A and B are shown apart, each in its own frame.
Chain A
């Protein structure tokens, strides 16, 4: 290892240690930033000689990264991964520096940073989950993002594991050298109704098929798919039992299985590893206090919400919804009007978070009666008082982090 890399790597550890002792967050990003200042090519250097997988997309990145990490860890292998969700270069540098000798790295990668990270990390596998509207004040519009992915992938020698059900992902991956198409599902179709090649209408048919009415752009035939509780792969079929709830997590697991397969993990081995994952960075975490179970869920954009509504709409338990609009959330909560909240009518709903007023107005027009409670802690307590057995909490990014701290 070159002296500069060594020095930069050492600094990452030092800063992270100090920042953890000072109680400033989990100390992953601060150290990474210092390391990158000393050596801008640190991520590339630390990836050298490793098998590297990148995971990107609008929703499911953190979960898929955790599932793939579990699959790659079988047999006691050490995997470097940014499991806390710090998915930009500083987070990558910190995760890699913390496990310098790991033979494998699985890195969750912010959609906007994918091109740069591909160039630096020279990955073996890139998993592309989906693309939909998210934080439009910070991110590019989704078509622009798909175009930038496409350019970055055409210059990479990685195998791309791509969701064949998402037209924007297919547009991005179609010119890559090696592609494994996976039937990864698509719950939110509003960003995929126009052909990304010719702007013609895209029609969705049975069994997730889709095609453009005006040009030849259509769903590629996937080689990986789900058949009830089984994963169907080119190497055969294997049962899949997950502890994580919801159809969207089964899709994440399928993408992770295909990625692990590219890196040489056996089907059964991977399925067993995935079955052991129960809680990803606090998501789907359940805690109990005074006999009331609180379920923690994260939804930060319309697609994430639509996936979760499936899971929670009919649950009778009180539901606390927390919305912030801090830097990591995006400053514009207008996306709340893209969420079909009317499905919640009949539930006891409590609106909270920094932007509870925006949420409350949104719920009014969806005709969902609700309470408002600006203070997150009070909102959770109030829900627990109203509950018979359990409480659901759904927050966007920073509100979810705050709620995790507020629950035992």
Chain B
């Protein structure tokens, strides 16, 4: 099987180096000898069939357009129903939910693949380093080590229905709707506010996505010395922050 990774609309959703997430998935598959392809699918073309879709952050106008195109296109929802995985960051996280606001506060429909809805926050923009303690597998969580990343968003996202938080925020703001939780996941869809790109900063999350898309329990080990050096430094630096 060839693993088909699709980076969704990099022309609209790629503000914070987020297309790096797709690059990380491609390399981590290829380094293990897994046959994988990456399609950078621009917004003027129909979205191709894939096994693993990545959505990134974007500004308000492009975000509205991206959601509208995805709804018109229909492929993303079809693929998810057929078993494809989705990893969505920031504006992408909001888009895969039920609804989200534009710059003026008007609410737009999302693709509805994850039970979250986003509204315009009343407070300050959430900007800065974040640490997330991921819930263990026994309680329905992803069971991963602490996640590190950088958030930069104004929206406030609340979970309902099937959606479970990715974890509890120990530094930073996260979803910002009262509870100190970050991101959401349900079924084949994972969403988060973490940039970084988050998969480069958290290789265990990248491998979780690869396992899901390849329907494997485990993957062979890679030499992640460099990632671990970065993780350790971030965990140490950010834990020491008073924010």
Residues of A at the B interface (CB closer than 8 Å) are 133, 136-137, 141-144, 190, 193-194, 196, 199, 201, 213, 331-332, 334-338, 357-358, 360-362, 364-365, 367
Contact = CB atoms under 8 A, between A and B. Distances in A.
B62 A199 contact: yes
Given A136-B152, A332-B150, A361-B200, A337 B43 contact: no
A334 B197 contact: yes
Given A136-B152, A199-B64, A337-B200, A361 B17 contact: no
Contact of B14 (A190, A196, A361, A367): A190
A365 B20 CA distance: 9
B229 interface: yes
Contact of B20 (A193, A331, A337, A357): A337
A360 B61 contact: no
A334 B16 contact: yes
18 contacts: A133-B15, A137-B150, A141-B59, A193-B11, A194-B61, A196-B61, A199-B64, A331-B129, A332-B150, A332-B152, A334-B197, A335-B16, A338-B20, A357-B233, A360-B229, A361-B230, A362-B20, A365-B23
A201 B11 contact: yes
B185 interface: no
B227 interface: yes
Contact of A201 (B44, B61, B229): B44
Nearest to A362: B200
Contacts of B19: 337-338
Interface of B: 10-12, 14-20, 23-24, 27, 43-44, 59-62, 64-65, 103, 127-129, 150, 152, 195-197, 200-201, 226-227, 229-230, 233
Contact of A136 (B14, B15, B103): B15
A137 B197 CA distance: 15
A336 to B, nearest CB: 7
A357 B230 contact: yes
Contact of B59 (A143, A213, A361): A143
B152 A358 contact: no
Contacts of B60: 141, 143
A336 B64 contact: no
Contacts of A361: 200-201, 226-227, 230
A364 B18 CA distance: 16
A357 B229 contact: yes
Contacts of A194: 11-12, 61-62, 65
Contact of B128 (A137, A337, A357): A137
B195 A334 contact: yes
Contact of B61 (A190, A199, A335, A357): A199
A133 B200 CA distance: 20
Contact of B17 (A143, A144, A335, A357): A335
A367 B230 contact: no
Contacts of B201: 361
Nearest to B63: A199
Contact of B200 (A136, A137, A331, A365): A365
Contacts of B10: 190
A187 to B, nearest CB: 17
A295 to B, nearest CB: 27
A339 B67 CA distance: 26
B100 to A, nearest CB: 15
B27 A367 contact: yes
A142 B62 CA distance: 12
Contacts of A335: 16-17
Contacts of A193: 11-12
B53 to A, nearest CB: 18
A336 B17 contact: yes
Contacts of B64: 199
A143 B152 CA distance: 16
Contacts of B230: 357-358, 360-361
